[in-house]
Amino acid sequence: MIYRRPFPGAATGSGGEIRDEAAVGRGSVTKGGLAGFWVSDLLIPDHKAPWENDIGRPAHYASSLDIMLEAPIGSARFNNEFGRPCLTGCFRTLLTPETCSEDAEAETSSWRGYHKPIMLAGGVGNVRPCNALKEERLVREGAHVIVLGGPAMLIGLGGGAASSNASGESNADLDFDSVQRGNPEMERRAQMVINTCTALGDQNPIAMIHDVGAGGLSNALPELVKDAGYGGNFELRQVESADRSMSPLQIWCNEAQERYVLLINPENMNRFSSICRRERCGFSDVGCVATRDTRGDAKLILTDRESREYPRPIDLPMDALFPPKKQQERDVSSKKPKLLPFDALCSLQSTLGGDMDNATLFKKAVERVFSMPAVGSKSFLITIGDRTVGGLTARDQFVGPWQIPVADVAVTAASFSIGGKQRTGEAMAMGEKPTLALINPGASARMAVAESLMNLGAADVMGDLRRVKLSANWMAAVNHPGEGAALYEAVEAIGMEMCPELAVSIPVGKDSTSMKTVWKDKGAVKSVTAPVSVAISAFAVVEDILSTWTPQLARVEDVGESILLFVDLAEGRRAMGGSALAQSLGATGDEAPDVNNFSLITDYFDALSQLHKSGVVLAYHDRSDGGLVTTIAEMMFAGRCGVDMMMDGISKSGGIGDMLEALFNEELGAVFQVKASDEMNFKRCFATCGPPAGLIRKFGVVKASSNQSLTIRHSAAVFATLGRAEMQQWWSKTSYQMQRLRDNPACADAEYAVVSDSSDPGLCYRLTFSPAENILPITSSIAGFFGKTPRVAVLREQGVNGYAELAFAFRAAGFEPVDVHMTDVLGGRSLADFTGLAAPGGFSYGDVLGAGQGWARSVLMHESTRREFEQFFRRPDTFALGVCNGCQFLTRIRQLIPGTEHWPTFVHNESAQFEARYSMVTVRQDESRPSVFFHGMNGSSLPVVVSHGEGRARFSSPNAMQELSDAGMVPVRYVDNRLDVTERYPYNPNGSPGGVAGVSSRDGRFVAMMPHPERTIVAGVSSFMPRDAAEQWGEYGPWVRIFKSARRWVG
């Protein structure tokens, strides 16, 4: 419940969604997530926006500002520590006076907005076919009922019920008691158990699985046995509990997180137990299934062996718990709001003054709109989240060499095995238009679906719309006058009309129907009611991850003359109601954008499929929040170039009022960039199956990168000219202000200054080697043929989550990676049969003792384990690579590693924040010295993933860094985009002195580095790479070189 405790509320929201995915069928793997936040006005101190309202809030509520400073950290930190990339999302604010009240008093005390905020969590995962279904036939009588994960704790009691109350109806004690707490490291351990079980395929010991959520075990256990077709016998005191003083009610009903309930048949218990022990994941055997429910005689029995008074607190027939479902009926009545038309020009003039010239009025309108949270940069929400963990992220939010967060869609690669012609994956995208519901709830729902599909279309979706699946999250205050009917109207609009017409299904979703806050302020009753709010997430299979379009405009210097084509799916309509411009002027409007022609959506999607195959599209961006001017501006930001817009075919008269409507309406549409020579090829794709040719308008050309300005013309006359840097500063301002409040202000200032540097060359690849070059000795193939492939121990500690991508990197280079858990080593597992040791990234022990500290202590303080590691490092034929958390681990056991006496430790970033970015690094390796990992790479500069909170090198003495450098033991350093070694943020993401990003031992056999070279091994899996680079590089990206270099050294 993020309005009470933003950090834990958002953390457990993400954790709960992850468990939803893991509990599919007999267990599955979550792959990529999304997050969204809708709150009332931010009211940033000293930066209150002119359209914002300060109406107060209940005393025990967090402010919208505090929610947005804390809740995204909670969500991101849970995803980061668990190990799931968050790849897309949304953020908007709303607080506007109620417009449908009858009496004047209500008009001043009743508002529409998000004092009860919305936190969205979603994602995509993979499940094996043999594990996809929950099947009764797999469960036998006597199957063990298991609670997997953390212990019961007195947290989250009543959370499910409390969240269903309109805010203000429950008391403050319940509000706080119901807040949950997250433990992502425990959830990772539970997930590793599930992963190990499901990897066994048909031998998976899990017969059925269910996540523990609202209601705790009181809900999860009955549902589990009911789904299996049985009753159940449970013993309360078998439930592992962190507090022995908890009452039976508290044990049974608490909503402590990170738990699953499972059914394990008797013959599989030994295998399951050994898996849990290896992963150090607790579990409780709390009972068994009993009496298959064939005649309605199955019972649920809960015993309590410690109670004399109530030894059997529950003894109920299953039918009493799960009676036949009845269709719920509600009597609701419509209440149409009293709305005023929105005239953009009149509103601007009345708000800003009528003495401004047209160009200034337009400029002020752009500045206001770009400052809106729903329109502007969301960078402060994105860089805190690890977007590359798992090594399969093909498209995240950031786009291009300047890493601008404007991507329409998130894309993941299907697996590590892709290469050559197999480039399949998954795509997900969002759509949401809640402000339109203040005018027309049905239009709001239709536009949300349409926007999700427009965004999804940036990916090369396999098949037609029938292959697309939607998730719908519904939020409303159904007991507020008119809102029950409004919710019905919205559901009917897409559930019974639009989606059936498009042949798109909505198989899943959630709801909250108590979106209202009521409180007293100095005796006056105030209320804030959310509009009917539907958030759509769209998912589809991707045919070719390399064919994903982005909004990054291709430069004239790179592709020659290019043009911009606008496809107007609104067929000329220009409704301004609910737009960002209207909201920024304190208005709503009376006419909302809508989807009036469903067949146009189908035809458009078919045309996109043809365009992906044709390869003619250079850039793509849909028209959405902020209108067409925002679409073009964001494409300019991503490409750092200018645009000349000709509005003759879009604006009728060219007058200021008409141009405002043309540029700021948020009807359906999209902009495509193609080469001038490909214009007819583009139109042919649409002629085959797309919208009518009359809806396609050539309206712009891309300027040379030396002219980074937006020029808007009508009938050859210049209407307005705006510079890219100035517009991007407006667009980035809200994110910058939030970042400055939350993080180190000096770092926020430094990053904001980068926006205005028009000469910044951006990320680049300056390679002294060819990624496609085969540097492996011929003996490596011969050794592999005879089964003598050198083995690498991929070492895991609890909380480590980056093992899979590191293992694949070594596999791609010709090694045999072996999963080795610290449990194995502590139990006597020898490292003698390994040539290499790889320590992956993650959050060992949740970093609670300092990053890598707990992991290091488990080696240093265990005599036989310490000896095993020391012997490994002293062998002359071994090597080791530590990445991120593995780097922190190696530097903290440096006393065991020869030639590392000057290694630093790594401490908190200078920004005081987790940093997830693509940073430029340079490889400086003395070619006269032995090089295990960097053969032939000296002088190369290229981007690399960084994702850490403690990456700043701290040396034991002022001379230690110099001695390390003089000895040639700093092979990797951060550089800026001009390739100069730097300590300047954000080019150096952690403030490490001398740009130190990685260190090596004197003989080069052991390397510890904070960046993640292993996460961009698969070709196409990168936030940025040059156009057509994947074809030149082959199956793997440039960073595979360090792993092949190690294989070359082994021989």
Residues noted as catalytic: 884, 1012, 1014
Give 931's DSSP letter.
-
Contacts of 221 (CB under 8 A, 6+ apart): 145, 232, 234, 261, 286, 300
3-state secondary structure 954-1008: ECCCCCHHHHHHHCCCCCEEEECCCCCECCCCCCCCCCCHHHEEEEECCCCCEEE
E runs forming strands in 127-167:
144-149
Contacts of 585 (CB under 8 A, 6+ apart): 51, 344, 347, 348, 351, 368
E runs forming strands in 95-159:
95-97, 110-113, 118-126, 144-149
CB 886 within 8 A of CB 840: yes
Contacts of 540 (CB under 8 A, 6+ apart): 426, 427, 428, 456, 459, 461, 462, 467, 468, 469
CB 664 within 8 A of CB 369: yes
Amino acid making up residue 239: V
Phi, psi at 10, each rounded to 5°:
-70, -35
Helix ranges (H only) for 140-183 are 159-162, 172-177
**H or E element at residue 431:** strand 425-432
Contacts of 468 (CB under 8 A, 6+ apart): 453, 456, 461, 504, 538, 539, 540
Amino acid making up residue 886: G
Helices 853-860 and 885-892 pack at an angle, to 10 degrees, of: 40
Report the distance separating Cα 917 and Cα 382, nearest Å: 9
Amino acid making up residue 375: V
Q: Give me the residue label for tokens 């991929």.
A: 794
Report the distance separating Cα 484 and Cα 912, nearest Å: 45
Report the distance separating Cα 825 and Cα 865, nearest Å: 7
Alpha-carbon Rg for the chain in angstroms: 29
Q: Which residues of 883-908 are buried (b: 16+ CB within 10 A; e: fewer)?
A: bbbbbbbbbbbbebbebbebbbbbbb
Helix ranges (H only) for 471-539 are 483-491, 499-502
